[in-house]
Chains A and B, each alone.
Chain A
Amino acid sequence: MAARFRQQELECMPRLQIAAFQEEKLKQSRLISRAYDSALYRSSWQKAGFAPASIQNRADLRQVPYLTGGGLRDAFATYAINDILTSQRVRFWFCTSGTTGSPKWIPYTDGDLDVCEQTILRSMWLIGMDQTRLTWLNLVTPAPFISDGAAHFGIFAEMLCGLQNEHIAASPTEVATSLPLASARKPNVLSAFPSVAARIAEGFPEAALVETRRRFQEKKNFANLAAMLLARYKGIRVRDIIKLRYGIFSGESLAPYRQTIIDHYGLEPYELYACTEFLCFNVECSYHCGIHIWLDVCIAEIIPQPELDKEENTAGYIPQALFLDEVPIGTMGEYVLTTFGEALPLVRYRTSDLLEVVGTERCRCGRTHPRVRVMRRLDDVVNMGLVRFSILEVETCLGRVSHAGKVVNWQLRLERESCKPKPMLLIKAARSGAEQALLDEIRSRVFEIEVLRVGCESGIVANPDIKLVDEIEEVRTATSKVRRIVYGKTW
């Protein structure tokens, strides 16, 4: 099938023009001078001692200090919000999950939403979803998480360009009640966290058995009997009931779930990368060779892993970033984002997402925007997709263990059981009671992290293994900082 473009000129812009385009936008949007007026940047930029007027092209951006998630959070705690905003015409606020402490609240103006709508439509054209009326099943997390807003912005974007798709939305707690509608309306697009989709697929045969049994009891006819027997002896998968064609998956890496999802749903999965701080729909094309990062709406940099290591190794070292479209294929590092946003532009924002660059040349689909693979988080967030919590939360709940012993040291190893995240908690403890009593106490304390408990109960995350060990084989950063989260080989 011939590639389809929503904004061909922008999507297929020759690679060498991208930098020029970004620089023009840098000037036109008055990004640096607007940002300089924000309390978020003012003092750190003053300390850095550069004049806004000196930033004329994207290479000059290297003079500008990085912004971190912590910096963003602190600014909201320190300054009046109006002093942080660069536009007072905010339309919506959304917030991050707040797993590393208090959440980050992110403002969006109508102009910011236009960028979001534009990239939503671009993604739909890219996948080929513009040619026929589609029925979507959107599994969204409730507001103020941005996926709730994104689903609505998509609907309005479709309406604005004359597409008339059908949408069934359901939050994770409402999936079960929405599935009967979904099975009746036969959606052909599923949008979800990969882990949630995998969990639904896993529980579907059992749910189908219960439902066919109920229907047979309600109405004893041959069709209902056949369905019940099929469910019992062969098992019914989602693909047997709903003929999905496309899957749009975001919020966590699709890679571990890709095959399971294909097997159970029989759809073509597409990975989407977006974040609350900048709602831009970066998505892989039908060649599935990495997620296209749209460089006409942002300036993307990457801090290569050796630089990150050096930063850890050397006190006060400021790592050097490279432009995403200029790095060699295979480069891994932290994604750094500069946006042209109206409400609150992000300037050299360190996302804490570890990316691998998989292509900077023109893709076979014709698009020139570089392609990446999203690997994992770099910060203290235990990211298991929908289930996210911070190291601090683990530290706090383990600190409360006191009856059967005390936790001396710990390490959380993240593995996968099939495609499902499997936390393994290694504990070095000073015991004052029976081993089992201590394990029980630790388990009950760990489940005080509500999102983990709910994640395990709902089957999104495999039950954590907790092991008492004599010694923990510590993994340390170059600066001798202990790594509490260790990603295992199966992750």
Chain B
Amino acid sequence: MTDSADRIGMKETTDGQYLEQASLEELVEFSRNTLVSSRVLQRAAKSVLYRARWQRAGFNPEGMKDLSDLRRAPLTAESDLVRACHPSPVKSYACSDVQMWFRVTGRGGATWWMPCGKQDIMRMLGLCRRMNRVVGISDSDLALVLSQPAPTVSDSLPYFLGYAHKLQSGARMEIVPLSVMLLLHRPAWAAFFLKRQPTILVATPTDALQLADILRKNIGGQSQTTSSTDSQTAGEATSTSQTSKAERRGPLERLRLALLFGSGISQDIQKVAQEYGVETFQMQGATDCLLLNVECQMHKGVHIWLDTCIAEILPVGETDERRTGADLQSEAVFLHEAKTGTRGELVVTTFGEALPLVRYRTGETVEVVSNERCRCGLSHPRVRFL
């Protein structure tokens, strides 16, 4: 750890690697302590996002003593965030000093703003390092990070990745940040990637496929788009996406893995795996909740980092999707208590500094893979995105 990392408080936020390795019981205890002692909900109550809704629902965060009390809190839907930010976030939207603002585009196309405090940035840096460890990124890797222009989270992702290493250990990791939107107008840039040959691709599946298309059209790569079977289940996709490693078809010859983020991407992951012939890893929560949940090298589901959030599963079927949060809030089960095979919407309560998301409905339907310790050694529960 460098002095500079120490100066900005990375030590306490990211030195806790033990949490990465902790048992499920320890993680749950950590979550409970964080929720209660860090007064996450009491801080959140300052935000206009929650204040009126919580009052209407008769929810008082002061009474929080245990995890189970969280289930009395109303759910937060994307529409609540959009409403709180319309026409723009008022001063009392964020709960503490904001360092950066990110715009999030929701599933319906509406946008809302996510404030990010200093501790939130520190957490992201720590999670970047954790992600690298979990997926097996080494110091000699070169990452091509495809981003959307500011003010999106993805615009900052390459710098979070880079500074996670710069500030902590100075460990090597070379990064080329790249807006795909610009690449569309400057296909000649692709010549550089072909020469430098990245080993890691970090992108949304859409951007990854677009890059492949640009490379193919402009550089004469030999890759061929292979469509995945739409009817394939996510589980099958997760496991079969790793089978095509041997067939390297893409022009990025040294590319060895792709980290794919965004919501509702499970179906497209297989396409990227086939397009590039690489091992793929799904990331979740990066662009809206400032979480970096990621699947490990076992490829048996995405680990939900329980030291950064409290996760619940809202067991809703398709017909229930329009029901209000008030009807549903008591039906959610904690992820760490959910049985394998439980299906439902992933709900997270983050420990965010600038704006904790309390019982935020991610809109992602998941299936619980396991709460048992994974073969990779980690106890953070795993879910499969459907």
* Chain A residues packing against B (C-beta within 8 Å): 76, 81, 88-95, 98, 102-103, 105, 110, 113, 133, 138, 140, 142-145, 148-149, 151-153, 155-156, 159-160, 162, 164-171, 173-174, 177-178, 180-181, 183-185, 215, 450
* A151-B8 Cα distance, complex, nearest whole Å: 18
Given contacts A164-B99, A174-B150, A174-B151, whether A93 and B121 have CB atoms under 8 Å apart is: no
- With a cutoff of 8 Å between Cβ atoms, the chain B residues found around residue A93 in the complex are 174-177, 192, 196
- With a cutoff of 8 Å between Cβ atoms, the chain B residues found around residue A177 in the complex are 103, 111
Given contacts A81-B196, A450-B185, whether A144 and B177 have CB atoms under 8 Å apart is: yes
Q: Which residue of B lies closest to A133 (CB)?
A: B97
Contact call B97/A159, Cβ cutoff below 8 A: no
Interface centre among A76, A98, A184 (most CB of B within 10 A): A184
A469 CB to nearest B CB, Å: 32
- With a cutoff of 8 Å between Cβ atoms, the chain A residues found around residue B101 in the complex are 166-169, 181, 185
B117 CB to nearest A CB, Å: 9
Among candidates B87, B99, B158, residue contacting A215 with C-beta atoms closer than 8 Å: B87
Among candidates B4, B118, B185, residue contacting A164 with C-beta atoms closer than 8 Å: B118
Of residues 170 through 226 on chain B, the ones whose CB sits less than 8 Å from some CB of chain A are 170, 172-179, 181-182, 185-186, 188-189, 191-192, 195-196
- With a cutoff of 8 Å between Cβ atoms, the chain B residues found around residue A102 in the complex are 188, 191
Q: Which residue of A lies closest to B172 (CB)?
A: A89
Q: Which residue of A lies closest to B97 (CB)?
A: A164
CB 8 Å contact bits of B85-117 with A (1 = contact, 0 = none)? 001111100000111110100000001010000
Contact call A156/B163, Cβ cutoff below 8 A: yes
Among candidates B91, B113, B177, residue contacting A92 with C-beta atoms closer than 8 Å: B177
Chain A CB within 8 A of B16 CB:
no
23 pairs, CB–CB < 8 Å, chain A vs chain B: A76-B192, A81-B196, A89-B170, A95-B189, A102-B191, A103-B186, A103-B192, A143-B182, A144-B176, A144-B177, A144-B178, A148-B155, A148-B177, A156-B163, A164-B97, A167-B100, A169-B100, A169-B151, A171-B179, A177-B103, A178-B151, A181-B101, A185-B101
- With a cutoff of 8 Å between Cβ atoms, the chain A residues found around residue B8 in the complex are 159-160
Q: Which residue of B lies closest to A181 (CB)?
A: B88
Among candidates A144, A169, A170, A215, residue contacting B179 with C-beta atoms closer than 8 Å: A144
* A215-B87 Cα distance, complex, nearest whole Å: 9
- With a cutoff of 8 Å between Cβ atoms, the chain B residues found around residue A103 in the complex are 186, 188-189, 192
Q: Which residue of B lies closest to A102 (CB)?
A: B188
Contact call A178/B186, Cβ cutoff below 8 A: no
CB 8 Å contact bits of B130-165 with A (1 = contact, 0 = none)? 000000000000000001011100011011001101
- With a cutoff of 8 Å between Cβ atoms, the chain A residues found around residue B7 in the complex are 160, 162
CB 8 Å contact bits of B47-88 with A (1 = contact, 0 = none)? 000000000000000000000000000000000000000011
A454 CB to nearest B CB, Å: 9
Among candidates A90, A105, A113, A148, residue contacting B150 with C-beta atoms closer than 8 Å: A148
Chain A CB within 8 A of B46 CB:
no
- With a cutoff of 8 Å between Cβ atoms, the chain A residues found around residue B103 in the complex are 174, 177-178, 181
New A-B pairs, 8, CB < 8 Å, besides A93-B175, A142-B155: A90-B174, A94-B177, A95-B192, A103-B188, A152-B159, A159-B8, A171-B179, A174-B149
- With a cutoff of 8 Å between Cβ atoms, the chain A residues found around residue B172 in the complex are 88-89
- With a cutoff of 8 Å between Cβ atoms, the chain B residues found around residue A81 in the complex are 195-196
Contact call A169/B155, Cβ cutoff below 8 A: yes
A412 CB to nearest B CB, Å: 22
Among candidates B99, B113, B177, B182, residue contacting A159 with C-beta atoms closer than 8 Å: B99
A162 CB to nearest B CB, Å: 8
Among candidates B150, B185, B189, residue contacting A169 with C-beta atoms closer than 8 Å: B150
- With a cutoff of 8 Å between Cβ atoms, the chain A residues found around residue B196 in the complex are 81, 93, 105
Contact call B149/A171, Cβ cutoff below 8 A: yes
- With a cutoff of 8 Å between Cβ atoms, the chain B residues found around residue A183 in the complex are 88
- With a cutoff of 8 Å between Cβ atoms, the chain B residues found around residue A148 in the complex are 149-150, 155, 177, 179
- With a cutoff of 8 Å between Cβ atoms, the chain A residues found around residue B192 in the complex are 76, 93, 95, 103, 105
A361 CB to nearest B CB, Å: 36
Contact call B175/A92, Cβ cutoff below 8 A: yes
Number of interface residues of B (CB under 8 A): 50
Chain A CB within 8 A of B11 CB:
no
Contact call A92/B158, Cβ cutoff below 8 A: yes
Given contacts A81-B196, A142-B147, whether A167 and B99 have CB atoms under 8 Å apart is: yes
Contact call B87/A166, Cβ cutoff below 8 A: no
Q: Which residue of A lies closest to B9 (CB)?
A: A159
- With a cutoff of 8 Å between Cβ atoms, the chain A residues found around residue B175 in the complex are 91-93
Chain A CB within 8 A of B43 CB:
no
Interface centre among B90, B121, B166 (most CB of A within 10 A): B166
* A173-B149 Cα distance, complex, nearest whole Å: 8
Q: Which residue of B lies closest to A113 (CB)?
A: B166
- With a cutoff of 8 Å between Cβ atoms, the chain A residues found around residue B178 in the complex are 143-144
Q: Which residue of B lies closest to A168 (CB)?
A: B101
- With a cutoff of 8 Å between Cβ atoms, the chain B residues found around residue A92 in the complex are 158, 162, 174-177
- With a cutoff of 8 Å between Cβ atoms, the chain A residues found around residue B118 in the complex are 159, 164
A430 CB to nearest B CB, Å: 32
Given contacts A102-B191, A142-B150, A171-B150, whether A180 and B179 have CB atoms under 8 Å apart is: no
Q: Which residue of A lies closest to B98 (CB)?
A: A166
Among candidates B167, B179, B195, residue contacting A142 with C-beta atoms closer than 8 Å: B179
- With a cutoff of 8 Å between Cβ atoms, the chain B residues found around residue A167 in the complex are 99-101
- With a cutoff of 8 Å between Cβ atoms, the chain B residues found around residue A185 in the complex are 89, 101
* A170-B100 Cα distance, complex, nearest whole Å: 11
Contact call A110/B166, Cβ cutoff below 8 A: yes
A-B residue pairs, 5 tightest by C-beta: A171-B149, A143-B177, A142-B179, A180-B88, A169-B150
* A184-B159 Cα distance, complex, nearest whole Å: 27
Among candidates B90, B98, B162, B186, residue contacting A98 with C-beta atoms closer than 8 Å: B186
* A185-B103 Cα distance, complex, nearest whole Å: 14
* A444-B113 Cα distance, complex, nearest whole Å: 40
Q: Which residue of B lies closest to A172 (CB)?
A: B149
* A323-B172 Cα distance, complex, nearest whole Å: 36
A385 CB to nearest B CB, Å: 17
- With a cutoff of 8 Å between Cβ atoms, the chain A residues found around residue B179 in the complex are 142-144, 148, 171
Q: Which residue of B lies closest to A182 (CB)?
A: B88
B157 CB to nearest A CB, Å: 10
* A145-B167 Cα distance, complex, nearest whole Å: 23
B253 CB to nearest A CB, Å: 15
Interface centre among A76, A140, A181 (most CB of B within 10 A): A181
- With a cutoff of 8 Å between Cβ atoms, the chain B residues found around residue A76 in the complex are 192, 195
- With a cutoff of 8 Å between Cβ atoms, the chain B residues found around residue A178 in the complex are 103, 151
Contact call B177/A149, Cβ cutoff below 8 A: yes
B355 CB to nearest A CB, Å: 13
- With a cutoff of 8 Å between Cβ atoms, the chain A residues found around residue B165 in the complex are 91
B194 CB to nearest A CB, Å: 11
B370 CB to nearest A CB, Å: 37
B207 CB to nearest A CB, Å: 13
B163 CB to nearest A CB, Å: 5
* A181-B111 Cα distance, complex, nearest whole Å: 12
Given contacts A91-B166, A178-B151, whether A166 and B156 have CB atoms under 8 Å apart is: no
